Amino acid sequence: MPPRLVTSEGNVTRIHSSSSADAAEADPRAELARYIGQMVLDLERMANTANLELLSYFLAMARAEADTIANVPAQAKPEHEAQTQAPYCAE
């Protein structure tokens, strides 16, 4: 996949493609959701490291929603990502 450039100005985030043909094929919402999902994964890992179970759970939910929008099936995720989710048990 060609590299993408993500820029932010104020409240607007833009995803730039390396070629115009690729831009026509790419869904900007899916690309943005993929980018947000990766950012949330990093935050989720930090929350797990700090034993912030509830926060980690909510971040995992946000990542799941981003993956749904980006059409990334759960089984396609690398194995190390599956291990980052902290179990959450409501008591």
Sequential pLDDT tens for the chain (91 residues): 444 556 666 666 666 655 544 544 678 999 999 999 999 999 999 999 999 999 999 999 999 999 999 986 554 555 545 555 555 455 4
Q: Is residue 31 part of a domain?
A: yes
Q: Is residue 90 part of a domain?
A: no
How, if at all, do strands 12-16 and 5-9 pair?
Answer: antiparallel
Q: Is residue 11 part of a domain?
A: yes
Total domains present in the chain: 1
Q: Is residue 73 part of a domain?
A: yes
Q: What is the pLDDT of residue 34?
A: 94
Q: What is the pLDDT of residue 74?
A: 52
Q: Is residue 58 part of a domain?
A: yes
pTM of the model: 0.54
What are phi and psi for residue 8, nearest 5 degrees? -130, 135
**Residue-number span of the structural domain to which 13 is assigned:** 5-82
Q: What is the pLDDT of residue 53?
A: 97
Q: Is residue 33 part of a domain?
A: yes
Q: Give CA–CA dist 62/65, Å, rounded.
A: 5
Beta carbons of 44 and 85 less than 8 angstroms apart: yes
Q: Is residue 89 part of a domain?
A: no
Residue 44: which H helix or E strand, with range? Answer: helix 28-49
